[in-house]
Structures are given as structure tokens and as C-alpha cells.
Structure 1
Amino acid sequence: AQKADLSGDTTAATINHSLTLLQRLQELLQNGNGSDSVLRVRSAASDEAKVFHTHQLLLSLQSEVFESLLHNQSVVTLYEPPETAALFEKFIRYLYCGGVSILLHQAIPLHQLASKYRVWGLQRGVAEYMRTHLASESSQGHVVGWYHYAVRVGDAALQESCLQFLAWNLSAVLGSAEWGSVSVELLLLLLERSDLVLHSELELYTAVEGWLSRRQPEAAVAERVLRAIRYPMIAPSQLFRLQAQSAVLARHRSAVQDLLFQAFQFHAASPLHFAKYFDVNCSMFLPRNYLAPSWGSQ
């Protein structure tokens, strides 16, 4: 392909055969022609090692880790978990060609490989893929897992993106399989937010009750979680029903009794009268983004 140079010299042109070069690099990896190094990738999931006939120059250009590993030896054995071992060929292909296709379930292991071998361009690319694919559909959900991974690796931007997505799509998350995998820390972060988008505070309480029943955290954690529910945003009739029927509330009644009493007072008094005796500017009296046609009083 040729492209005219507008600098004034009409005889200048650019000859671009980069696609042909990429194709030849792919063939170089596939056929192992001229290979001067060998990577043996072992995993606990298999007795056999995956063998890659590689080229030290190309690996060293992309990764200082490979440059160091191959400095005084031409055969290197690498030990990888099954998840990353399964993607190692895709990872090596990126080192040769500078591009890679990726699916939702491959994001974390590919990011782990990029981080381990210090391939910073790929690491940034996968992180950006994760931030821009939070809304993609997946059978088991993926945002909670990505959030927990972002916390482990210290990616603050990905953490915040995941947290905001979960907050603004909470009703869908509450009814999904990934709700059960929410950590205590993530649950508390969500409960303190006022920008949660969900059907009602009762829906949130019901989901929290299920989470507590499954996880059975220590009493102090359970009580902290229950005290983050905004009981004044639940209708009195529903509060009465919870007091009578909720096993979780019965078990921790003493920890939230003051909040329940305050919620009933909130519903019984006029807003102006209630405000004379209580600080109505605290989060307990601040509605979240409820989607129900009516909430708080029925």
C-alpha cells in the first residue's frame, strides 16, 4: 500500500507491508523456524508440559522477565496454574504479534500473565477491556469477581468502575449467582452508598438476609451489616412482618432494636416534628434510588 507524502516532495511515498510482517511473525512462532530458546510450561492440571519454540530477541523486547530468564539459558521451565497455563499460547502470540482476542472468563488469567512477566502494554489493555465490558452478559456474572481481583492487585480504577457498576445495577446483582460471592468488605461498601439503584430497601434487606444465612459471619459483622440497612425507607407493615418472620432479625434484634424503633417513629410523626428531635440529614433517612412505584409508606 502507498500513501502520498504532503510535505511538498511529490516523489516521496510510504511502502507499508506491516501486515505481511505480522503474518510472518505468526508463522515464525507456529513453525519454530530459527528458534533459539524453548519454554516448557507445566501445570498441576496435566502431566505433560506445553512446549514453545521461541526466539529470545522477540521475547526480550516485550518482557524484561523473559530477558532475564533467557540470559544464560536457552531452555526454561515455567510453572503456571491451570487457568494461566491454558492461555499461555495466546499470551506468547501477543508477544510476537502485538494483538490478542479475549473473552470475559479469560480476562483475569491473561492479566495475571501480563503482570507476572511484566508485559505492561498487555496488562493495561486487559484492564481497559475489563472496565469497558462490565455490562457484558455472562451466565455466572463476572463483575464481583473482577472487583475482588482488582482489590488484590491494587487496581484502583478498576475497583471504582466495578463498584459503580454494581451500585447502579444492584437489583440485577441481587438476583444473580454472583451475589453469594460478595465479600464482607464489598457488601459494606455497597450498603453505605446512597446511589444504589434497586427496587426497594426491602429487596435489599431480603438479599442481605439471604447472604447472612449462607455466609454465617461472626456476630459483630452480621450486626454491622444489619445496621447499614435504612429501615425508615421500609413501610411499617413490612417492618412488622420482618420482626415477626425474619430469623436473622430475631437473632440480632438487640443490635438493631434502636433503629427499628426510630423507623416506626419516623413513620408515625410528621417530617417537621420528627426533625426537631432527630438528625434527618444522616444517611439512615436518605432514600436510595428506588425503582418501586411507592416505597417507605404503605
Structure 2
Amino acid sequence: WSPYKLLTVFTFIFQTASKDGEVRLVGGQSSHEGRVEIYYGGQWGTVCDDNWDISDAKVVCRSLGYSDAVTVLLKAAYGAGSGPIMMDEVACTGNEASLMFCRSNGWRRNDCHHSEDAGVICKPNEDESGSEVEGTTHVLDRSMDFAESLKNLYETRQFCDFNISVKTNGKESETSIICTHRIILLLNVDANFMVKDGAENFTLTVDEECTPYVDDFIRYLYIKKISVTLKSSKCIHKLASMYGILELQEFCSQLFTQLLPEDLSFQNQLSLYSYALSTQDTMLADSCLQYLAWNCKAFAESEAWYQLTWDQLGNFLFRSDIVVPDEFFLLEALESWILKKGPNSPDLDKALIQMIRFPMMHPEQLFQLQFNFTLYKSHQDLFQMKTLEALEFHTVGFQNLNQYVDLSNIDYMPRIYTSPTWSYLLSGSSIYNQYNPYYRYDYQNFYSQLRSYSSSFHTPKHTSFLFQSDMIQWSFAYYESAQSCRNSGRYCYYDNYPVLLLSFESRPSSNYSIQYQNKALMICKDSYVSDIRDFKNNLVVLPSNDTSSYTFPCSSNFSYQYVVRPLYYSEFQNTQ
């Protein structure tokens, strides 16, 4: 059998089980329209319409075999679905091969109801546009057999006609040859760079640590399937990055998130961040920075903190999702970094100090700066200017301040402050210990314990000292299921559980100049922040029995921290 005959033999199709990332349209009057549903983890689920647009629809339609998308539909136009809401805040470029490769909040990470299920209308193919109905289409899919045959073809090297030379960096004299099939590489858009312009062979140069994984990488070019371990992920990612194989690169980038929590010293996270910058992998770089920002207190107290370069620290301090007790803590960490690094350019130190959000410090903390900070002496003019700006924020009312100050500047936006002034920590043990056991017996003869917790805490109305004595009482709750919610006496209309709730217990006096962007922190094993979610309509929906849906996976034992973030609001303010 020649490879050309082999390509012909396996072109018939036999229906197989659904695969992760597969999409379908449900509820439409024809096959090219309907509610978008995507398969993941053994279940079909819907897609939330937050940020849903025509670029997302194009990816859905093309993955289903249609040439283009006609329009998008929102608000469950094809009826509300059931089961999990798989994706939210989808942001495709329009060129992805599958919806699963688009940016989103992650699997099952959403704050939506099924009333927000997304839909699409695809451009019908010519054989669908006629009025004659030809009956139901039946599909035969033996594509899995074809992939297995390609795998065997690669491994046996039968009929191979194109050599790939594998060289090791620093050991150019040590070369191995892998014989492959030109036609296979030519037909694969990810691999045809090897055979372009009629090349007779191709040289693959890799680091020594990556040579064991070259075979897996080339086999992927044949069958589009690869098993990646945490040990091999960096090398597979490096090869995919070198040769522009975006789907494999993104897959490895997502896998890195499982690596990040494993190193409590933060050395691994910092190493991966430097690697991401060198390979220009923005997704991986952002994941590393995100983990470091979410776990800033422990990071700033580790030796790895002092290994940050000036540029890296500048990128870090620009973020608003840094989780710290307060802004004063961040300034202390910055001073420690500058002093340990030794003499730097005064301009560089000044640029870093300016990234501290002085208006977010309490006036008493501002007063302490002149006495407790070594940097104050060498940058006295800068500290005095930033202190004056902060005191203006604390003493001038919104209407006057908004006329002269750009409140959209990030200096006036709080980060995620976890001090008791702005947050409440609900430990996992509190949820369990407070609960008075109530059992129900379900039809499968299993008992399930229904846990809940509710209480309240106080915060100032705003970070400005003008509101120091104007306190707000917040009511918060955790409900594991609809039944535990009903047991509390609440009206429970939520589609999914468990949920976190945060709302005013005593509504503050009307002040339309203040808005709240409150956050929920998921803390794994009292060790690291696994995820952060926005309260939307006072609600955060938590993944149920699927900890992989968290940004940084955690097997169990969660605590939850409710964080209040007040901001001044104006119509020109960019509240990212």
C-alpha cells in the first residue's frame, strides 16, 4: 500500500463519541441555526452571551462545516438550555479552529443564567438552501481508524521519503535522523514549513533536555494527538513556539497553570515567566504574572521576589489584580526590593515608586512615610508630591475632585485588599462547623449533606477618608445547593450551585458617584489563591465537582474571601 492509497482508503466516516470542544446547534428551525452547545468533560453545556459577537459565531460555524456566520443571537433566543454553562466571556479572533481555543473565563467559569444562552445563524451550504427536503443525513465515521493508520505509518517508517535531522544545541556532531513522509507533512498546515520550496530534508535543532520529546512532537504532526506530561510540557511548548503551531502552544500554556501552584518557593513560576517572555508567549506570561499577583503576599516574602528584573517588577506593579493586605504593604515590599538590589538609576527607582497607588493608603500611613521609609530621604520631592495628591483624594469631595483630577487614572483604583477593613475570610472549616447537619435521601439511595453559611461584616463606604465613619453593613452567604438555600428562608432563583452572595444588608444613602467592583477569592488549602471572580448582580457561581475549572486547579479544601472594592464613578472612568 502506498501512502497515497492509504489516504484514499480511510476517507469514509463512522459516527464516534463526542470529543471535548465539539459544538452543536440546538433548537433552531434548520441545522444551520440554534443555541450553541459545546461538549466538555463528558457533558454538553451552553455558552453565555456575555461578550458574544460575530467573531465567535464565525468560529462556531466554520467548525461545523459552514463557510461563514450570518448573525449572533443573545438572551436564549432559541430557548434556555439545561445542564452546565460551559463558557463565558468568549473572545475569539475569528480564526481559531474551534471554540475551545478562544479566550474565555475557562471551562464552567461563569456568572450567567440560561436566560443568557448564546445562539448563532450560520450561512447555509448550497445543499441546504433548496426547498426540497432529502431526509435525515446518516454519517459513517471511521476517522479514528485513519488516525491510527497514520500513527502506524509514522512508526514503521514504511514508504518514508523525507529526512528530518535532529541536532542538539552545543552538540552539533550528534545528529539523529527521522524518516518521514513528504505528502503527510505537505498536507498538514502545521508541518508544511518543513517541505516548502521543494526542500529535500529539514534540520530540527533543539536543547538537550528536549531531545527525548522530538519523536512525540513529529508524531503529533501526523495524527494531531499528543500526550503531554508536566515534565515534557516546557519542551513541547518550546517546539510548538519555534515553529508556530499555535493550537499545541496554547494547549501547553494552559497546562502550565497546573504547574504554577506546585512550587511554594515561587522559583518555578518566575522561571516560567522568564521563559514566556523569551518565547513571546503572552498567554503564558500573563498566567505567570497572574499567579504571582494573586499570591503577592507570599511572593513578596520569598527570595524569588528579589530575582525580579526592573522590567518584570514594573509590569507586575502595573496590575490591578494584585492581592495584598493594603497598598502600604506593597510599598514596603518595593522598598525592600530596591534596597536589596543595591544602587539603581534614580530615575528607574522613581518610576517604580510612582506605580504605588498612594491615594489608596490611609492618611495615618501617609504620615508614617517620612519616618519609616529609607527611600523617602533619597526621593523626598516625589514622596511629598504623591502624598499631597493622596491627601487631596482623601479630603476633597467627588464633585470638585472630578473637575480637576482624572479619576480614571489607576492611582485611584484599589487593588484587591484583604485586610479586615475591606474583606471577610470564610474558611472551609467555618462552613462545615457552623452547619447543623440536615440530610436528604435521594432516589439513588445516597445521603448528601447540605452546607450553607451566612453572616455579615462592615466596611467603610469608600477608600476616601471622607467616608471613614460612614460604614456599610454587607450581608454574605455560601449555599452549596438549592435545598440549602431554601432552608435558609431565601427566595432561591439561581440556575447553578454552589454560589457565593454579597449584598448590602443596610443600603447606604444614595451616592451615584460610588460604584462597587467586589471580588471573591478562592483560596486552596489555606495556601494559594486558586481563582478570583467578580460578583455580578451580587452573585458568584462556583464550579461544582470540577476543580479543573478554576484558573489554578485545586483538588479540595477551599476557603472563600469576600473583598469589597469601592471606586469613584464618572462617565469617563475606565474601571478595568
Q: Helix, strand or coil for the counterpart of 1:87? A: helix
Aligned to 2:354: 227
Moved more, 176-185 or 79-88: 176-185
1:90 Cα deviation after fit: 2.0
Change (3 A) 1:177 1:56: farther
1:72 Cα deviation after fit: 3.1
Give the paired residue count.
288
1:71 equivalent to 2:199? Answer yes
Aligned to 1:137: 261
1:246 equivalent to 2:373? Answer yes
The one-letter code of the counterpart of 1:243 is: Q
Distance 2:350 2:242 in 1: 40
**Preserved contact between residue 326 and residue 419 of structure 2 (Cα < 8 Å):** yes
Aligned to 1:59: 185
Change (3 A) 1:283 1:71: closer
Instruction: Report Cα offsets for 1:182-214 as digits up to 9, x if no partner.
Output: 454453344344454332112211232233235
Q: 1:200 aligns with which of 326, 333, 336?
A: 326
1:226 Cα deviation after fit: 0.5
Q: Helix, strand or coil for the counterpart of 1:28? A: helix
**Preserved contact between residue 131 and residue 162 of structure 1 (Cα < 8 Å):** no
Q: Helix, strand or coil for the counterpart of 2:421? A: coil
CA RMSD of aligned residues (A): 4.4
Moved more, 38-47 or 104-113: 104-113
Change (3 A) 1:274 1:37: closer
Distance 1:41 1:134 in 2: 30
Q: Helix, strand or coil for the counterpart of 2:163? A: strand
Aligned to 1:37: 162
Moved more, 144-153 or 91-100: 144-153
The one-letter code of the counterpart of 1:98 is: K
The structure showing larger relative contact order (alpha-carbon pairs under 8 Å, at least 6 residues apart) is: 1
Distance 1:20 1:159 in 2: 38
Moved more, 176-185 or 89-98: 176-185
The one-letter code of the counterpart of 2:182 is: Q
1:92 equivalent to 2:215? Answer no
Distance 1:32 1:274 in 2: 76
Distance 1:270 1:32 in 2: 77
The one-letter code of the counterpart of 2:192 is: E
1:22 equivalent to 2:150? Answer no
Aligned to 1:213: 339
Q: Helix, strand or coil for the counterpart of 2:352? A: helix
The runs of 5 or more residues in structure 2 that have no matched partner are 1-12, 17-133, 423-462, 469-576
1:127 equivalent to 2:253? Answer no
Aligned to 1:291: 418
Q: 2:174 aligns with which of 38, 45, 48?
A: 48
Q: Helix, strand or coil for the counterpart of 1:99? A: coil
Please report the TM-score for the alignment, with normalisation by the length of structure 2.
0.41
1:224 Cα deviation after fit: 0.9
Moved more, 76-85 or 285-294: 76-85
The runs of 5 or more residues in structure 1 that have no matched partner are none
**Preserved contact between residue 37 and residue 54 of structure 1 (Cα < 8 Å):** yes
Structure ranking higher in strand proportion: 2
**Preserved contact between residue 64 and residue 117 of structure 1 (Cα < 8 Å):** no
1:95 Cα deviation after fit: 1.0
Q: Helix, strand or coil for the counterpart of 1:53? A: strand
**Preserved contact between residue 134 and residue 143 of structure 1 (Cα < 8 Å):** no
